[in-house]
Structure 1
Amino acid sequence: MAKIVVALGGNALGKSPEEQLELVKSTSKSLVALIQKGHEVVISHGNGPQVGSINLGLNFAADHEQGPSFPFAECGAMSQAYIGYHLQQSLQNELHDLGIDKPVVTLVTQTLVDKEDEAFANPTKPIGLFYDKETADKVSEEKNYTFVEDSGRGYRRVVPSPQPIEIIEQTSIETLINAGNLVISGGGGGIPVYKDNNGDLHGVDAVIDKDKSSALLAANLKSEQLIILTAVDYIYINFGKDNQEVLTEVAVDEMKKYIDEDQFAKGSMLPKVEASLQFIENNPEGKVIITSLEKLDDALEGKVGTVIKK
C-alpha cells in the first residue's frame, strides 16, 4: 500500500461547471480504483480558471453596483468549496456504487506565505479565461491588470504567486486521514494567508501554485507518490517546435538541466517541475507522475506520462 497525493490541475477541469462535473466523474473512477487497491489517497486541486472567473464575475457585479467586490483570498475559498463539492459528490457516488463505506470530506485549507515574498512585485500565476491580444490589451488598460501569453493558447491575467511555507490545517488533514476519511484539501494551493506581529492570520491577494502546495502536503504526509494531473499527457522539451521531445522517465539532475535551459513555461509547466523536485528532495525514495486527467489509469500502469525520480 502506498500513500499518494493526487493534484488535479485547474485547467484540466474544464471550462464550465457542467464540463467540470463530467470530467470529475470520470476521474473519480480512477481515484476510487486506487483506494480499492489499498492505497491511501489524498486529493488536492488547482483553481486558476475557476478563481479567475469567480473574481471576474463578482467584480463585474461590483462595477455595476450590484454588490461588493471580493478579494482573491475570499474568491479562493469559494473556489475550494465549488470544486470540492463536485469532487466530493462524484467520489461519494462512485464509492456508494461499489459498496465501499468510506466518508469523503472537503477541508477549507489556508496556506501560510511571507507577506514580503518577492512574488508580490512580480505576478506570474495565470488565472481566468484566455483572451486574444487585442482584448487582453483593452482589459489591461481598463482594469490595470497584467496579462501574459500562456503557452501559445492566448493571453491570461497573472497575479502574485508566493511560495507556500506552511499548511495551516495540516494537523486536521492528518486527523481526518487517520479517522478513515478520503480528504480533499489544499484546493487552489490553499487560501493565501500571512501572520501579523501578533501571530494572527490575514488573507492576502494572491493565488498559490497548487503543485507547490501539493508537494509540501505530500512531503509532510511522507507520501510515496505525488501525481500531478494536467492538460497534457507528458512533459516535453522543445515544446511546440519541430524537435519537440517527450520525456518518459527522467532523473532529478536531468530536470534541473532542462530548467537551466528554460525548457518549461513559467506560468504552466515550470511550477509543476519545480514542485516535483521539491517533493523528491524531501522524499528521496518517492516519485512523481505527471500526465493528463484522462490518462490517469494508463499512467498508473506505466503506459503513459512522465515519471520523475531521484
Structure 2
Amino acid sequence: MLLSTATEASTATATTTTTTKATPTSSPDKKKKKRIVVAVGGNALQRRGDRLTIENMLKAAAEMAPTLAELAKENELVLTHGNGPQVGELALERSAASFDVLGAESMGQIGYVLAQALQSAGCTAIPILTQVVVDQYSDAFKDPSKFVGPIYGSIEAQALAQSLGWTVKPDGEYFRRVVPSPPPMEILQIEAIKTLIEHSPGTLTIACGGGGIPVARVPANPQTLIGVEAVIDKDACGAKLANEIEADGYIILTDGGGIWENFGKPDAREMKEATPEYLKGTKTGEKFPGSMGPKVQALIDFVERSNKPGVWAAVGDLKDCAKIVAGEEGTFIRRDVKNGVTWRTGKKGPPRKESKNPPPF
C-alpha cells in the first residue's frame, strides 16, 4: 500500500506543503516461492513395452505435464531431463554422427515435446540448448561406462565395434555400446537460465537436457569450443545446475520410488530421510552403478555443495511428484536428520524384476 502524508510548516514569509511517499511493504501473507530443479529420466517419455515414437512421447509428456504445471505455479521450477532412449535411437539412425550433435538433437526433440505438453497444461516453458564443458582428458574417456543403444549378441557386437569403431561391453548376457560419461564442469548458458528465472516469473525453464551437450575448451585457445564424443550423466548435471542457481531443492524422478534398503526382498524398507554422511557410510547405491548409484551421488553432491541453509534433495516416483514436494513420498537427503536416517512405515518394497533381457536402451 502507498501512504501519502501532508506536512504543513509555517514561516514568517511562506507556507510550504510537502508530500512524501512511504516505502511499500510486502504482504506478510505472501509466501516466498521455493526454487526447485526437477530431473525427469528419459525413460519417462518411453513407457515400458511402447515403441519409441513421437506419438508415444507426446502422450507420456501430456500425462506428466499437469502435475509439473501445477508445481510451477507454486514454485520457481526448472526442469531437466534424460535422453538415453532418444539419443540411442538417433545413434542407430545416424551412426556417423558424433554424440555432441546427437545430444543436441535429442535436447531439441525432447524440449519441444515437453514444452508443447506444458503449454497445453497452461504453463509456458522455454527449452534452452545448453552446452556443458567437460575435461576431455579425464579418466571417463579411458574407461567408457555409459550404455547407449540396443542389446547385441557377442558376434554382432564385435562386428559393429570393428566396423564402426565402437566400444562395447557386457550388459548381463548381452553386449551394448558404451561411451564416456565425464562429470560436468561448467554450464555455459547458466546466466541465460538465471535471467529467465529471475525476470520471467511463471515461465518454466527447461535446461541441461540429457546432461547437456558435451563440449571441451581447446587448451591452446580456451575460448574455442569443440564437441566431445560423450554423454554426461543428467543427474550429475542437474545437481550442478541446482547449485549454480542456488536452488532450495533438487528432485530426481524415477520409475522405482525412493531409496530402499534390501530392495526386492521381504524385509525391504524405504528411507524417509537420510544425511549425506549416512548414505556414504553405508555405500548406498554402489551395488547399482548403472541406475541408483549415480542418482544417490548426485543428491549428495547437491546438498554438500550448497551454501544455502535448509536445502534438500529427494528421489521418488514420477507419479508421486506432487507428494514428494509435500514430503509425503520419496526419500529426502538433508544435512540434519536424527540418527542419520529415518524410515517410512507401512510400505512394502516393490518386487525386484529378474529378466535375462535388459531394456532396449
TM-score by length of 1: 0.86
Consecutive aligned runs of 4 or more in structure 1 exceeding 6 Å deviation = none
Deviation at 1:210, TM superposition (A): 0.4
Q: 2:78 corresponds to which residue?
A: 42
Q: 2:65 corresponds to which residue?
A: 28
Percent identity, aligned pairs only, is 37
Contact kept, 8 Å, 1:148 with 1:158, in 2: the verdict is no
Per-residue CA shift, 1:110-167, capped at 9, x if unaligned? 10000111001111222233x3xxx3423421222323437x9x76432110010010
* Mapping for residues 173-184 of structure 1, pairs under 5 Å: 173-180=193-200, 181-184=203-206
Taking CA–CA contacts closer than 8 Å with sequence separation of 6 or more, which of the two structures ends up with the larger relative contact order?
Answer: 1
Q: Aligned equivalents of 2:155 and 2:316: distance in 1? A: 35
Q: Aligned equivalents of 2:263 and 2:169: distance in 1? A: 21
CA RMSD of aligned residues (A): 2.0
Would you tell me which structure has more helix in proportion to its own residues? Answer: 1
Q: Which runs of 5+ in 2 are unaligned?
A: 1-32, 162-166, 336-361
Question: Which of the residues 165, 180, 186 maps onto 2:185?
Answer: 165
Q: Does 1:216 align with 2:272?
A: no
Contact kept, 8 Å, 2:115 with 2:125, in 1: the verdict is yes
Contact kept, 8 Å, 1:127 with 1:158, in 2: the verdict is yes
* Mapping for residues 121-200 of structure 1, pairs under 5 Å: 121-129=142-150, 131=151, 135-144=152-161, 145-149=167-171, 156-180=176-200, 181-196=203-218, 197-199=220-222, 200=224
Q: Does 1:292 align with 2:309?
A: no
TM-score by length of 2: 0.75
Question: Which of the residues 19, 30, 55 maps onto 2:56?
Answer: 19
In 2 relative to 1, CA 292–139 (structure 1 residues): closer, same or farther, beyond 3 Å?
A: farther
Contact kept, 8 Å, 1:4 with 1:223, in 2: the verdict is yes
Q: Aligned equivalents of 1:2 and 1:277: distance in 2? A: 20
Q: Aligned equivalents of 1:218 and 1:31: distance in 2? A: 17
Contact kept, 8 Å, 1:45 with 1:188, in 2: the verdict is yes
In 2 relative to 1, CA 19–257 (structure 1 residues): closer, same or farther, beyond 3 Å?
A: farther
Q: 1:62 corresponds to which residue?
A: none
Per-residue CA shift, 1:31-63, capped at 9, x if unaligned? 1111222x100111011111111111112xxxx
Q: Which runs of 5+ in 1 are unaligned?
A: 60-68, 96-101
Question: Which of the residues 77, 85, 89 maps onto 2:104?
Answer: 77
* Mapping for residues 61-76 of structure 1, pairs under 5 Å: 69-76=96-103
Number of residue pairs matched by the alignment = 287
Please tell me the residue identity of whatever aligns with 2:46.
Answer: G
Q: 1:10 corresponds to which residue?
A: 42
Q: Aligned equivalents of 1:49 and 1:157: distance in 2? A: 13
